[in-house]
Amino acid sequence: MRVLVGVKRVVDYAVKVRVAADKKAVDLSNVKMSMNPFCEIAVEEAVRLKESKAATEVVAVSVGPKQAQETIRTALAMGADRGIHVQTDLRTDQELDSKAVASILSKICADESPDCVILGKQSIDGDFGCTGSMLASLMSVPQCTFAANIDFEKKTVERETDAGTEVVAFPSLPAVFTADLRLNEPRYATLPNIMKAKKKKIATLSASDLGVDLSSGNEVLEVFEPPDREAGVFVETVDELVGKLKDEAGVI
């Protein structure tokens, strides 16, 4: 079974981002970038499948600028076999939207014909959360999103929803899965693994050569920081608190 994993190069989760001066985007200069945490979980799931001999090959795909190759190298260090880098200079957090990425991935999947595609459920910069679903729709394959547990033998997936966990069955492979936080705990790529990964190959393609429509369906009007939390109000008596809750907050 061949597994294709999508990885995205995003701003590191620990970085406090700033809005750029023109208020149209986040300031990305000199900011630490790393692999999207949900993509790490997806790579870990694929590598575990390979280790349990359920999968034969794990391919890591990334769409982005030249530095996205570092993200693919991290995926290779975690255990993927080879990488595909789709080069584009469009900003992957804004200018390149989910439909464009899903179109690119569906073209890659048409060439690679994987048995299973695992993506992260959302990225921590765009938080769109729809690339997986769009890809499944473009490929006309089943999709199991927010997967917290995938069972390939019984062909069932436990999905995490707002109401709780539901178990869905997928009829057949190929299928698209998106990884939720509870799927697994990803391994950390240490130096020996990074050294071994240097021998693995990364193929480079250009996004404009694939013949997909890269224009965004959205237009960003403004990017702003959330308002600062206001200070609370001290009350003297319990009656005053109840009065405030009833009249001003309207919660009683």
Residue pointed to by tokens 């910069």: 125
Length of the chain: 252
Q: Which of residues 111-150 bind other proteins (CB under 8 A)?
A: 122, 124
Residue 182 CA, chain-centre distance (Å), reads 14
How distant, in Å, are the alpha carbons of 140, 229, 250 from that of 244?
Answer: 55, 19, 8
Q: Give yes or no for residue 21 binding other proteins (CB under 8 A).
A: no
Stretch that binds other proteins, among 29-37, 52-60, 205-213, 221-229 (CB under 8 A): 29-37
71 or 106: CB nearest other proteins:
71
Contact region with other proteins (CB under 8 A), list: 90-98, 154-162, 170-178, 241-249:
154-162
Q: Which of 160, 179, 197, 214 binds other proteins (CB under 8 A)?
A: 160
- CA atoms of 43 and 119, how far apart (whole Å): 8
Task: Give the angle subtended at the CA of 125 by the CAs of 121 and 131, to the nearest 5°.
Answer: 35
The site map against other proteins for 1-20 (x = CB under 8 A) is ------------xx------
Sign of the dihedral defined by the CA atoms of residues 78, 80, 82, 88, in that order: negative
Site track 188-217 with other proteins (rule: CB under 8 A), x = hit: x-xxx-x-----------------------
Does residue number 64 form part of the binding site for other proteins (CB under 8 A)? no
Residue 181 interacts with other proteins (CB under 8 A): yes or no = yes
Span of 103-111, 158-166, 215-223, 229-237 interacting with other proteins by CB under 8 A: 158-166
The reply to whether 225 sits near other proteins by the rule CB under 8 A is: no
Considering only 185, 209, 225, 240, the residue that binds other proteins (CB under 8 A) is 185
Per CB under 8 A, which region of 78-86, 136-144, 185-193, 203-211 contacts other proteins?
Answer: 185-193
CB atoms within 10 A of CB 7: 27
Is the Cβ of residue 67 or residue 161 nearer to other proteins in the bound state?
A: 161
Residue with tokens 């799927």: 183
Judging by beta carbons within 10 Å of its beta carbon (0-12, 13-18, 19+), is residue 250 exposed, middle or buried?
A: exposed
Applying CB under 8 A, does 162 fall inside the site for other proteins? yes
Nearer to other proteins, 181 or 210 (CB): 181
C-alpha span between 13 and 5 (Å, rounded): 20
CA 108 to each of CA 89, 103, 175, 212, 213: distance values in angstroms, whole numbers, following the listed order: 18, 9, 15, 11, 14
Interface residue list for other proteins (CB under 8 A)? 13-14, 32, 34, 37, 122, 124, 160-162, 181, 185-186, 188, 190-192, 194
